[in-house]
Structure 1
């Protein structure tokens, strides 16, 4: 048998190919949808916008929150959106009509983060009121089906897999709820957590905190696998990400840059100059070396250097 060819080395998004002027005030979050063809932006002007970022076109605006929108997510089939904001509410939207299907009220403070479960039957929301609340999308039940109240301070970030919930809190702890086993695992970082995410292989978790450090943790044992420094994070809730092949970790920074480190070596691989203000949000495409970075009122799309824009297709 012939040996298999070596996989090509990972490419990094070094080239800015789009800049979306969102017209939403300060952009609080930018998120790819499930397949990466579209993205959502959340604004301080109380609006959500759906974009084709590859073509630079806005497709729809969603209005319905009373205060600024802080986070949003799309369902697996792209038919629904969920969003949350400083008005203490969580909203479920119909993508096609732009209408609010339902609003969920119950949090005692602003809601920082929101996610669907895999089947988009449950919305999970994390708030400064120290709770994660689980809302049933299929019923008209006004109260949550479950409340996770183990955090001792505000919940800043959450991610959901097929059977796990990962949360980061201002109390300096990363919590992982294993729904199959009915177990809670907690890792103490010490500094307030601003963002958490799972690795694509499901073996580890990445956490960003206000001591300007990213930490990669073994999901099962809590062992510290790597630390990444060089960016600035001391006051704002900034996103951390893993690249589409788990080869690099990335973080937004208060100095106007995005930083990407080699996951294994821990060395700084890339420092992208996004703007002069704080880069508040970051999102990596699910399958491509493609990055969204939100700074002040705009969102930038970054691609690999070999990428050639083509206005005639969806990736242009």
Structure 2
């Protein structure tokens, strides 16, 4: 990979953009912001398709279903389910947790939604039921939950269907088999701001607040590589691999977008453009195109030229 350039800047948000994610096939992307809105975009045209505007607080996180029909979002203690086609709210959970909800993730058949919170709990919600009560509560974390992975749609990860992976400020990554009732844990002392999984499902990618991204073997919990040079000590900033696991991408508090070679941990690119903290990064599912969001209220779309 020789050069990376910014193709487009999306600037319709009026507040810090907390996250931006491709949908399951990469044809569209969705962003969430402190301006209380979620926006659906065509990243190739740089055009906004729809703005979802029912939340009363700034958006913290969101996810879309694998079939791209549903959107789930959290803001403060609110949890919303949307119909993407008509932009309407299907369901509202007004006090889903006792503290701010920090992350949401839906499984592949959209039957279960998982939420994590500053109240240290992970809750599972049965989307086929009319109940507003969780069907399961996982209470093993000793501090705030920072991210959740299940049959994740935005990164095209296909786990077993009943496996849930969480990261926490307590420094742990927890792997739950909710069907078997088992738990295995990777423990560290450094707070983890997010966890993702490589596309081959062999490694965790953990963003830690000691300004290190760790590549961790999913079976042995051995740290295989560490990626450094970026700044991350305060904000919740994520990292992930690209579509073929050749690269690691990450945001930074120094406003730059970082790209490392996965196998060697060599820093390949430090890319300027954003004027404030990069809060979230996401990789296209089938090609080397990336999107970044920032507290500068913008989204940038990046691509490679071989």
TM-score of the pair, normalised by structure 2: 0.93
Work out which of the residue numbers 125, 130, 135 in structure 1 matches 2:120: 130
CA change 1:149–1:304 in 2 (3 A) is same
Structure 1 residue 279 corresponds to structure 2 residue 282: no
Runs of 4+ more than 4 Å apart: none
CA change 1:13–1:67 in 2 (3 A) is farther
For 1:97-246, list aligned pairs within 5 A: 97-104=86-93, 105-161=95-151, 162-163=159-160, 164-179=163-178, 181-246=180-245
Per-residue deviation, 1:110? 0.9
CA change 1:238–1:12 in 2 (3 A) is farther
Structure 1 residue 249 corresponds to structure 2 residue 248: yes
Structure 1 residue aligned with 2:82: 93
RMSD: 1.4
Q: Distance in 1 between matches of 2:109 and 2:57?
A: 29
Query: Does the residue aligned with 2:60 lie in a helix, a strand or coil?
Result: strand
Q: Distance in 1 between matches of 2:3 and 2:276?
A: 20
Structure 1 residue 21 corresponds to structure 2 residue 26: no
Structure 2 residue aligned with 1:260: 259
Contact 1:24-1:47 at 8 Å conserved across structures = no
Contact 1:13-1:302 at 8 Å conserved across structures = no
Query: Does the residue aligned with 1:106 lie in a helix, a strand or coil?
Result: coil
Q: Distance in 2 between matches of 1:260 and 1:182?
A: 37
Q: Distance in 1 between matches of 2:267 and 2:273?
A: 17
* Count of paired positions: 295
Work out which of the residue numbers 23, 27, 35 in structure 2 matches 1:45: 35
Structure 1 residue aligned with 2:300: 300
Query: Does the residue aligned with 1:14 lie in a helix, a strand or coil?
Result: strand
User: Per-residue displacement from partner, 1:197-221 (whole Å, max 9, x unpaired)?
Assistant: 0111111111001100011111111
Per-residue deviation, 1:229? 0.8
Contact 2:28-2:40 at 8 Å conserved across structures = yes
User: Per-residue displacement from partner, 1:251-286 (whole Å, max 9, x unpaired)?
Assistant: 110001111111111111111113221001111111
Q: Distance in 1 between matches of 2:26 and 2:119?
A: 32
Identify unmatched segments of 5+ residues in structure 1: 1-10, 307-316
Report the structure number with the largest CA radius of gyration: 1
Identify unmatched segments of 5+ residues in structure 2: 152-158
Contact 2:79-2:96 at 8 Å conserved across structures = no
User: Per-residue displacement from partner, 1:209-246 (whole Å, max 9, x unpaired)?
Assistant: 11000111111111111111110001000011111101
Per-residue deviation, 1:31? 0.9
